[in-house]
Structure 1
Amino acid sequence: MEIKVLGAGCPRCDHLKQEVMAVMVELKLAADIEHVTDIAEIGRYGVMGTPALIINGKVAAVGSVPSKAQIKAWVKEASKN
């Protein structure tokens, strides 16, 4: 599984990455987790706000930090594929 947190290092971006990492530990799943701060790379995903969450190449959230429960649901769904 590949997870990317898009954002220039703002506190909300850092919080989202921490939440994602906590979910992965809780679910005992492995993933490559990357915090993308390069504006050009963020733009390639077509997102207009940060933080953004990308799971296996698909945009899951933009402009907010989703709840831990929502992140967990998305990760569980992605792990089935």
Structure 2
Amino acid sequence: MAAQLTLSLDNLEAVLGEAGMSLANLVRLNVYTTDVDRLFEHYGVLASRLGADGVAPSTTMLGVTRLAIPTLMVELEGTAVA
């Protein structure tokens, strides 16, 4: 879970970077996970990355049965403003 969460954050940062933004531009973050308990065990990964950019977007965590790719355990959906 920690590795997937880290990769998801890396990918989100890359997409934001292409738009000339960073995690600091996030105003909303939805976290979809197939295992809420495991995500909470690794929530520090998410919190520390957001904290490093001084951002605390409105966040919703949703437990789902599965994601589009069966091996995925976490998916991030962010809204950012310039």
TM-score by length of 1: 0.45
Larger C-alpha radius of gyration, 1 or 2? 2
Higher relative contact order (CA 8 A, sep 6+): 2
TM score, norm. by length of structure 2: 0.44
